[in-house]
Amino acid sequence: MEHVDELIRKQSLASLASSIRKLERALVSVQQKDSSTTVIAKRLKALQMGLAALKSVWDNQVFAYTPKETDEAKTVLASLFPSLQAMASKFKPGSSQATLLIRRVRSLELALAALGEM
């Protein structure tokens, strides 16, 4: 994986952690409504694995997932890009929402790259 500036590392880790927290809350909400949690659970696990992969690459932390799980996570994370790109057109350039979206996309790209090294 290429060298990544320390600020971008921190922003990417924070972005993934934020996405994970949002999905954890969504999972609880959907469970309370007795709805299907499959999609949310898959996305949550993929984001957790992406975060673990970045920490493994950048901070030498242990990555405790199998190659099969890693491949599934890469597929799930890659599937998020079309909806994120569609959202980009809704935000005014330079707005806080656009900035957060750019950081989220960058963090997902970095997570995919890190998962590719696992």
Query: 74 exposed, middle or buried (CB, 10 Å; 0-12, 13-18, 19+)?
Result: buried
Q: What is the per-residue pLDDT for 34?
A: 87
Query: What is the value of pTM for the model shown?
Result: 0.91
With H, G, I as helix, E, B as strand and everything else as coil, classify residue 34: coil
CA 81 to chain CA centroid, Å, is 10
Q: What is the per-residue pLDDT for 115?
A: 96
Output the CA torsion sign for 100, 103, 18, 76: positive
- The answer to whether the CB of 30 falls within 8 A of the CB of 40 is yes
- DSSP sequence for 39-73: HHHHHHHHHHHHHHHHHHHHH-------HHHHHHH
Q: What is the per-residue pLDDT for 29?
A: 93
Q: What is the per-residue pLDDT for 94?
A: 87
pLDDT mean for each 10 residues of the chain (118 residues): 90 96 95 91 97 95 95 96 89 90 95 94
Structure tokens at 38: 């499959």
CA distance 12 to 108: 8
Q: What is the per-residue pLDDT for 93?
A: 87
Kindly report the backbone phi and psi dihedral angles of residue 90, in degrees, each rounded to the nearest multiple of 5, phi listed first: -85, -15
